[in-house]
A and B are shown apart, each in its own frame.
Chain A
Amino acid sequence: MLDGTKGINSAVVRFVDVSKRYKDSSSLAVDNVSFEVYPGEFFSILGPSGSGKTSCLRMIAGFEQPTSGQITLENTNLVGVPPHMRNVNTVFQNYALFPHMSIEENVSYPLRMARLKKTEIKQRTTEALALVEMHDYAKRLPHQLSGGQKQRVALARALVGKPKVLLLDEPLGALDLQLRQQMQTKLKDLQREVGITFIYVTHDQGEALSMSNRLAVMSSGRIEQIGTPKDVYFRPKTHFVAGFIGRANIGPGTVENKPGNVVGRWGEFVFPVAKETPLGPCVFSLRHESINLGSGAEDISAVGVIKDVVFLGDSLEVFVSVNGLTLVAKTQMQTGIDLTIGQDVTVSFKSVDVVRVDG
């Protein structure tokens, strides 16, 4: 359903060549960014701090205006429209609950501002509180709640007005690990239940990969890659994406034209690559977990020396030197092979798992 082949008019949110430069700043916070978010999608923007992901979100919410470019919501222009006139709602990183209002008053706030009928306000507020399982806390004040509870109230307040798009700005950032994982599942379920488009900003790749239908990876104000979590994880387009998401062996190599086919050369490994791959020096990326140890099971293999073994709890990271090229392999605890440092070991991988990335 979310295959990206939808007609151009079906996008809920569209960025066209959007740039943002803050006052007194020499560099662009957002640098010529274009992307589309489709109805009902869980779309994440992933990037390190300072990558421009929050600026993108704030431009959709209306707290910032783009320096140039166009932003549309359901094909209507958003640039210049003040935040209170936009049919989008935000879940803030620090929750931003009104401290002087009860939970009920916080959640009913958007409805009261829209001057809906009392009975409708009452009913929809109750529904929204029930949706996040906070109906027992309706009369409490925000400071009497825990972080996770505040988070849920913030969600209810953002959803109660039935926005076209829900914007989430690192909403789980302030929660502890266990609660964060619970909330991830909860958020995903909630998104399916209400069917509202979510745009989720995070620096946590685990969150982005596990929850999103699609994600955009940003760095230094630019979008490095947009795709499904699998795409971005297994077929990184750029050096940055390969390095930022998951753990990968990244190193310089070349693409050469051999009689009959095009091959990649990385250290002593030579492997076939797609015919249309541009020739010349390049950067290759290979996931740690794509490397097999102990047998030549895959089509590319070589023998190397174990340099180091790092214990990670559920797995091991094995550093193997193959003729001066050090590769890291992630492997299970019980492999039945000798992982003593200094020992020879066979490494092998599928040639299709090697990805040529842009510098």
Chain B
Amino acid sequence: MANSAIPGSKRVSLLSRLSLAPLLIWSVILVLTPNALMIVYSLWQSEDGVLKQVVSIDNYIEALTNPVTISVLTRTLFVAIGASILATLIAYPTAWFVVRRLSKRRLLAVLLVIVPLWISFLIRVYSWKLVLGERGFINSTLLSLGLIDEPLTFMLYSSFAVFLTLTYVAIPFCFVASYSALERLPNSLLEASADSGATPIQTFRTVIWPLTRQGAAIGFSLALLLSCGDYLTPAMVGGLNGTMFGSLMITQFGLTNDWPLGAAMAVILLLITAMFLAVVARITRTEGTLD
């Protein structure tokens, strides 16, 4: 395990350093630089769409004092966190079922869950329009069954529609993360727990969850990152009531042409989610490693 740093072996350490180079280059080009640029932009100003390279924190003050921004940000966090939690709550037990109950058809089940990822994101979101819309699947079914006289209109173009769609989009990610954690859990540990007199519920609480919650947390984090900055989903199924923070940001980079304000909003969202994810990572941390 700990063979990466053998003392007195210069070649190995040079090689291992070299092998880290692609990772380093990748992070600098694709992660550090864009984020640094974003932070720099957020400190500059825009006057009538013209960029002024004057450093101040006015954009932050503007973003954080504007009641619209604050209410949209709050709603975005609620919807995104809610969707991520629901997606995890659906995906984790599903992954458990696939790992524990299916043997031969396991691969098929995994494939079925992640197959939607092969389809364009846009189409996956659009499909919910077809489900929730006025002449969508739900309404036409209810109408033909005679359960309602007029199509229900509250479903599409609302925060609820955004919530539902984001949940749906996030499920495969949560599933894959939970699945890989659950699959690594050796059966003998579950047997040892039952053997020690633990009921199935006790086994879940004391063995299964502590050893797999990091996987669930990774899935949750992916879901949260995907959903809290998303602007396509609210644009397609959210309507005016379903406006999300991502929609506000994209407006700054487009319609309003206020890049510095948009950048400041992006930094704010980044900091909030980073803090939230740090807390999630902290509380789901488990000591010890599986062999």
Contact = CB atoms under 8 A, between A and B. Distances in A.
- B is a partner of A: yes
Interface string B247-291: 000000000000000000000000000000000000000111111
Given A92-B188, A96-B186, A96-B189, A110 B196 contact: yes
B162 interface: no
A112 to B, nearest CB: 8
A82 B14 CA distance: 55
A83 B191 contact: yes
Contact of A113 (B186, B191, B197): B197
B85 interface: no
Contact of B195 (A61, A97, A100, A142): A61
B284 to A, nearest CB: 12
Contacts of A143: 288-289, 291
For this complex, into which size category does the number of interface residues on chain A fall?
Answer: 20 to 34
A84 B197 contact: yes
A157 B193 CA distance: 11
Contacts of B194: 62-63, 82-84
Contacts of B290: 99
Contacts of A109: 193, 196, 198, 206
A100 B287 contact: yes
Contacts of B192: 90, 92, 96-98, 157
B188 to A, nearest CB: 4
A304 interface: no
Contact of A142 (B193, B196, B288): B288
Given A84-B197, A84-B198, A161-B197, A90 B191 contact: yes
A101 B291 CA distance: 14
Interface in A94-121: 94, 96-101, 109-110, 113-114
B16 interface: no
A301 interface: no
Contacts of A339: none
Interface string B209-220: 011000000000
A19 interface: no
Nearest to B194: A83
A96 B197 contact: no
A202 interface: no
A141 B287 contact: yes
B27 interface: no
A99 B286 CA distance: 9
B191 A161 contact: no
B241 interface: no
B189 A98 contact: yes
Nearest to A142: B288
A113 B195 CA distance: 11
Contact of B197 (A63, A97, A114, A142): A114
Given A63-B191, A96-B191, A100-B211, A113 B196 contact: yes
A157 B197 CA distance: 11
Interface string B102-126: 0000000000000000000000000
Contacts of B291: 94, 99, 143
Nearest to B286: A100
Given A82-B194, A92-B188, A92-B191, A99 B199 contact: no
B215 to A, nearest CB: 14
A89 interface: yes
B56 interface: no
A161 B196 CA distance: 8
Most buried by B among A84, A94, A114: A84
A80 B176 CA distance: 35
A113 B197 CA distance: 6
B86 to A, nearest CB: 27
Closest 3 CB pairs of A and B: A96-B192, A99-B288, A110-B196
Given A99-B288, A113-B196, 6 more contacts: A63-B191, A90-B191, A90-B192, A100-B211, A109-B193, A113-B198
22 contacts: A61-B191, A82-B194, A83-B194, A84-B194, A84-B195, A88-B195, A90-B192, A94-B188, A96-B191, A96-B192, A99-B289, A99-B290, A100-B210, A100-B211, A109-B193, A113-B198, A113-B199, A113-B202, A141-B288, A143-B288, A157-B196, A161-B196
